[in-house]
Amino acid sequence: MRLKDKVVVITGASSGIGKSLAYEFAKRGANLVLGARQFVTLCEITQDIEARHQNRSVAVQCDVTVEEDCKTLIKQALLTFGRVDVLINNAGISMRALFKDVDLKVLKELMDVNFWGTVNCTKYALPEIAKTGGSIVAVSSIAGYKGLPGRSGYSASKYAMNGFMDALRVENLKTGVHIMVACPGFTASNIRNTALNKDGVSQQESTLNEAKMMSSEEVAIRIANGVENRKRTLILTFQGKLTVFLSKFVPAFLDKQVYKLFSKERDPLLK
């Protein structure tokens, strides 16, 4: 798939990986429909993209936990451009709290955004993407392959997302719809700053070394390449690939390594 003149819908597009995806797809000539809750920020991004590139960009205020908002997002794409070629399910939030301490509302919120947000948007985009033989992408995580301590709800939501997309892929083997799951490792973005603590409040500050992480711009390039080449799964870092490999063959060893890694984060939850 060449992205020039394609219509790409991106959720969670006001910051982090979503924002970088918007600029990368625009650079490749795509027309954009950007959804997020932060509408003012989204409008600034669309205006900047249109100033830099010849393609069109539309902002839509969208809370992916609200089914009607997701329906409106796809409807706006059709009203503006008459088609949908690619849906990038990127909207997501994280958490940082041990399960024994966390309020269950936090896990419910993560499932609503990360899993149900993907389901809601895909439900309304799929019939249109089936017409164009386009792509549905989920921005998942290595946490969808290996449960991470202090991120039980995040891992659960990403495991659920991966299973949903896997089933969707099989259902669409003969429809021409391309299904891709992208799994970044630790990425330098604001997702850890906005991660919810045990009470459901944003922690405001990352507890990991962001400087050593892959940039959101690099993640966006890899995902755009994956869409163009109709890849099935993207594991974006060596650490991620090693984690997937070890989880299959030496899971008990991996448990110990993950414990060791997270016990070294700033203000560790594991002692």
Catalytic machinery residues: 154
Q: What is the DSSP string of 122-152?
A: HHHHHHHHHHHT-EEEEE--GGGTS--TT-H
Question: Could you tell me which of 198, 227, 211, 247 has the C-alpha nearest to residue 97?
Answer: 198
Helical axes 67-81 vs 117-132, angle rounded to 10°: 30
The token duo for 124 is 């309304």
Q: Contact 114/161 with Cβ under 8 angstroms?
A: yes
262 half-sphere exposure, CB direction, 13 A CA radius? 16
- Give CA–CA dist 77/148, Å, rounded: 36
The token duo for 201 is 């409040």
- Give CA–CA dist 194/172, Å, rounded: 35
Question: Could you tell me which of 217, 165, 153, 197 has the C-alpha nearest to residue 24?
Answer: 217
39 — phi, psi (to 5°)?
-70, -40
Question: Is 35 buried (19+), middle (13-18) or exposed (0-12) by CB count in 10 A?
Answer: buried
